[in-house]
């Protein structure tokens, strides 16, 4: 199957790129290994996207999906397994998915990030059985129960506050350092809501038979180990870039694994562009959309077309 541009990832950057690419006359196809929307789709409310004073992330993602779908083919649940450069003369790429192979002239990586894991015993086994990475997605199931949030940044503290607001019986915030990294205002609000903050603690093991029952904590200063009984644990320790395809293509990454691009979305590999959270920077919906549009228009150079900048 032949296309001019393959966009990998159907989040805000990917949707925006698809709209701008097709409007610039580029025959485009979009792939997403899931249902699209990226991490924006699981945000409870987005209040800083122009035109919407407040809108649920899923609703905004759905509007973007409907808009982009009017322009091009979007293959959901079709994960891209490999991308091969045909040759060094810029003749394009072969995109191999779990279903098929596609010939394209350019590739735009909008693969975003995923939640960082603790990588402790019990985490993988109990994911979906009390282990969650999204309080706004799963918090409802823990009303009236005891939960823990792992992390000390803004997201972790906000999630802890949210869980308390929706009616969790007890909310514990576990942080490995002696002070939170979150803004002071969030910490004050957390304390006002009687959230229990455990400083200098790390999770060594998530325990339970079929579901989360407790956490084994270790004091980072004394080494003392204690057990904390909880019904659920929400892990909020940041995100990691989805850069496997970039690595295979030889795309340059920064020290944290994010794709390095110029101001127009070009990578160091001819014909490969990137936009959105995978390129680091200000990880916001509005910037992802802008970067997707810029990179899509820049890709016209790889498909033999011109765009009037």
Which residue intervals of 193-284 are DSSP H helices?
A: 244-249
User: How many other C-beta atoms are found inside a 10 Å radius of the C-beta of residue 260?
Assistant: 15
Indicate the angle between helix axes 154-165 and 184-192, nearest 10 degrees: 30
d(CA 115, CA 165): 23
Enumerate the active-site residues: 134, 137-138
Q: Is the dihedral of CA 165, 140, 114, 14 positive or negative?
A: negative
Are the C-beta atoms of residues 135 and 162 closer than 8 Å to each other?
yes
d(CA 146, CA 169): 5
Which among 79, 83, 74, 76 is positioned nearest to 102, based on CA atoms? 83
Q: How far is CA 107 from the centre of its chain?
A: 20
Which among 83, 118, 119 is positioned nearest to 244, based on CA atoms? 83
d(CA 285, CA 60): 10
């Amino acid at each position: 199957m032949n296309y001019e541009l393959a966009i990998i990832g159907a989040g805000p950057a990917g949707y925006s790129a698809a709209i701008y690419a097709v409007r610039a006359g580029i025959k485009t196809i979009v792939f997403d290994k899931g249902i699209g929307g990226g991490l924006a789709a699981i945000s409870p409310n987005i209040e800083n996207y122009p035109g919407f004073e407040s809108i649920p992330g899923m609703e905004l993602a759905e509007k973007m999906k409907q808009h982009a779908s009017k322009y091009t083919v979007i293959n959901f649940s079709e994960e891209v397994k490999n991308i091969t450069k045909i040759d060094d003369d810029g003749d394009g790429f072969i995109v191999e998915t779990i279903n098929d192979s596609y010939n394209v002239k350019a590739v735009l990586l909008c693969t975003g990030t995923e939640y960082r894991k603790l990588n402790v015993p019990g985490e993988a086994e109990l994911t979906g059985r009390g282990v969650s990475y999204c309080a706004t997605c799963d918090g409802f199931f823990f009303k009236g129960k005891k939960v823990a949030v792992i992390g000390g940044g803004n997201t972790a503290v906000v999630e802890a506050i949210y869980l308390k607001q929706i009616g969790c019986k007890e909310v514990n915030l576990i942080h490995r350092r002696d002070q939170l990294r979150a803004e002071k205002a969030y910490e004050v609000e957390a304390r006002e809501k009687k959230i229990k903050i455990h400083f200098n603690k790390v999770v060594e093991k998530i325990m339970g038979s079929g579901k989360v029952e407790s956490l084994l904590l270790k004091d980072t200063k004394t080494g003392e180990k204690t057990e904390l009984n909880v019904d659920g644990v929400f892990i909020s320790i940041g995100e990691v870039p989805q850069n496997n395809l970039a690595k295979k293509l030889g795309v340059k990454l920064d020290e944290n694994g994010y794709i390095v691009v110029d101001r127009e979305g070009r990578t160091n590999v001819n014909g490969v562009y990137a936009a959105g959270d995978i390129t680091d920077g200000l990880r916001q919906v509005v910037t992802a959309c802008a970067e997707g549009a810029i990179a899509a228009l820049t890709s016209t150079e790889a498909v033999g077309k011109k765009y009037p900048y």
